[in-house]
């Protein structure tokens, strides 16, 4: 018996031109769209007979039905999307760890975290782009939106805006992370150990001023009222730049350096050693971020250990804020910084 190809029995090879909707499921199951919705959402208020439930589930599975999030949240008037602009700075292990912990914690609370790639959008323009997605909350790392941006987000339904940065913005919750404290701790440490002419490495790379400027400010603050001085040392993250800096080291007359972070510290340490400068004998050196690599250097690198807020705490804050959008914005300093004294200082 010859098998005649039946178009309706072979939907597989040629993909259907558009996604199946709940109406398709309803048709196939021989019920109404309402019933499909009830069944698929396990509506507690409505009782659906077991045979019907099965028919609906079978139809949905057969069609490969996937609900349309946009339609759903349009109807519902809200979503459970937490939007985070993708950071403009290169994410190190600290931030990566924080982020994945946060995603996990928000996921447990049934929120969906979405990192939005806002390239080249600035200020209110960025806020508007985020607002188009109608997130229930917005978490902004780094330089946050201005007060107008926050207002835009709230007017378009964001029940919480949280900034993670150096300054609080009106109307938004603020987890204050002023990196000045990092520079302050580092340089205070150096001063306490008797150093007086202190260099502060400033990365030449773009996107880092956001951290380096406050760290420098903190360093300046730490020498206030002492006879110690701070000197800026621009440095690109490459060997030759470090070598050039090391070559003119004697002329700088420094007896200590706070190197922005452990990576720049490592770069500089190697260059200094190659140039015959003894660390910490001639020049004390301290980094920041407490990366594993610092522990492995010779001498072991002193550093400033950072304590970021826990993802769980931040998730809880978001959840609280979402439930009570009217509450006064929280404003909390969350950046812990403690010196880890090892061998280089």
Partner DNA sequence: TTGAAAGCGGTACCAC
Partner DNA sequence: GTGGTACCGCTTTCAA
Q: Would you tell me which residues interact with DNA (CB under 7 A)?
A: 18-19, 21-23, 30-38, 40-41, 43, 45-49, 51-52, 65-68, 71-72, 74-77
Instruction: Return the one option of a copy of itself, DNA, none that residue 114 interacts with (CB less than 5 to 8 A, by type).
Output: a copy of itself
**CB nearer a copy of itself, residue 64 or residue 253:** 64
Locate 315 and state its tokens.
């998730």
> How many other β-carbons are positioned within 10 Å of the β-carbon of residue 28?
18
Q: Which residues contact 272 (CB under 8 A, 6 or more apart)?
A: 246, 249, 279, 283, 285
Query: Is residue 2 at the binding interface for a copy of itself, with CB under 8 A as the rule?
Result: no
Instruction: Return the one option of DNA, a copy of itself, none that residue 263 interacts with (CB less than 5 to 8 A, by type).
Output: a copy of itself
Locate 281 and state its tokens.
């004998």
Residue (of 301, 305, 141) closest to 211 by Cα position: 141
Q: Smallest distance from the beta carbon of 56 to DNA, in angstroms?
A: 9
- Cα–Cα distance measured from residue 38 to residue 49, given in angstroms and rounded to the nearest whole number: 11
Locate 291 and state its tokens.
């990366």
Polymer length of the chain: 345
Q: Give, as one character, the DSSP assignment of residue 9.
A: G
Q: Give, as one character, the DSSP assignment of residue 161.
A: E
Residues in a beta bridge with 202: 234
Dihedral sign computed on CA atoms, order 11, 12, 13, 19: positive
Interface with a copy of itself in residues 107-126 (CB under 8 A): 107, 112-117, 119-120
**CB nearer a copy of itself, residue 252 or residue 325:** 325
**φ, ψ dihedrals at 226, nearest 5°:** -115, 180
Site string for a copy of itself, 154-193 (x = CB under 8 A): xxxx------------------------------------
Instruction: Return the one option of a copy of itself, DNA, none that residue 100 interacts with (CB less than 5 to 8 A, by type).
Output: a copy of itself
CA-based max dimension of the chain: 101
| Part of the chain binding a copy of itself (CB under 8 A), chosen from 92-100, 184-192, 197-205, 250-258 | 92-100
Q: Smallest distance from the beta carbon of 218 to a copy of itself, in angstroms?
A: 25
Q: Smallest distance from the beta carbon of 111 to a copy of itself, in angstroms?
A: 9
Q: Which residues contact 75 (CB under 8 A, 6 or more apart)?
A: none
**CB nearer DNA, residue 43 or residue 327:** 43
**CB nearer DNA, residue 41 or residue 226:** 41
Q: Which residues contact 113 (CB under 8 A, 6 or more apart)?
A: 81, 82, 84, 102, 103, 106, 107
Q: Strand 336-340 and strand 303-307: pairing?
A: antiparallel
Query: Is residue 68 at the binding interface for a copy of itself, with CB under 8 A as the rule?
Result: yes
Instruction: Return the one option of a copy of itself, DNA, none that residue 120 interacts with (CB less than 5 to 8 A, by type).
Output: a copy of itself
Q: Strand 284-286 and strand 256-258: pairing?
A: parallel
Instruction: Return the one option of a copy of itself, DNA, none that residue 40 interacts with (CB less than 5 to 8 A, by type).
Output: DNA
**CB nearer DNA, residue 43 or residue 86:** 43
Residues near a copy of itself, by CB under 8 A: 15-16, 18-20, 64, 66-71, 73-74, 77, 79, 86, 90-91, 93, 96-97, 99-100, 103-104, 106-107, 112-117, 119-120, 128, 131-134, 151-152, 154-157, 237-239, 263, 266-267, 269-270, 292-293, 295-296, 298
């Amino acid at each position: 018996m010859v098998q005649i190809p039946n178009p309706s029995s072979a939907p597989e090879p040629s993909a259907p031109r558009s996604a199946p909707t709940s109406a398709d499921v309803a048709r196939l199951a021989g019920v109404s769209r309402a019933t499909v919705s009830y069944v698929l959402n396990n509506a507690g208020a409505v009782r659906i007979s077991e045979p019907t439930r099965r028919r609906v589930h079978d139809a949905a599975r057969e069609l490969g039905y996937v609900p349309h999030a946009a339609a759903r949240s349009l109807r519902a008037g809200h979503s459970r999307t937490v939007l985070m602009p993708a950071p403009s700075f290169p994410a190190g292990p600290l931030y990566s760890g924080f982020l994945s912990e946060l995603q996990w914690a928000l996921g447990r609370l049934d929120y969906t975290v979405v990192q939005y790639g806002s390239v080249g959008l600035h200020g209110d323009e960025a806020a508007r782009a985020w607002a188009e997605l109608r997130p229930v909350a917005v978490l902004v790392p780094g330089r946050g939106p201005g007060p107008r941006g926050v207002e835009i987000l709230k007017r378009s339904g964001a029940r919480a805006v949280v900034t993670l940065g150096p300054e609080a913005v009106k109307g938004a919750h603020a987890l204050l992370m002023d990196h000045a404290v990092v520079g302050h701790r580092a340089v205070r440490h150096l001063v306490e150990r008797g150093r007086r002419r202190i260099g502060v490495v400033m990365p030449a790379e773009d996107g880092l001023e956001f951290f380096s400027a406050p760290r420098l400010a903190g360093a300046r603050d730490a020498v206030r009222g002492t006879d110690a001085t701070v000197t800026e040392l621009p440095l690109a993250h490459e060997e030759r730049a470090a070598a050039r800096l090391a070559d003119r080291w004697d002329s700088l007359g420094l007896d200590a350096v706070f190197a922005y972070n452990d990576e720049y510290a490592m770069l500089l340490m190697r260059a200094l050693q190659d140039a015959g400068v003894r660390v910490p004998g001639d020049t004390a050196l301290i980094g920041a971020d407490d990366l594993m690599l610092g522990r492995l250097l010779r001498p072991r690198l002193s550093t400033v250990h950072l304590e970021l807020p826990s993802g769980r705490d931040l998730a809880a804050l978001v959840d609280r804020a979402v439930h009570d959008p009217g509450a006064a914005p929280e404003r909390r300093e969350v950046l812990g910084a403690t010196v880890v004294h090892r061998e280089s200082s």
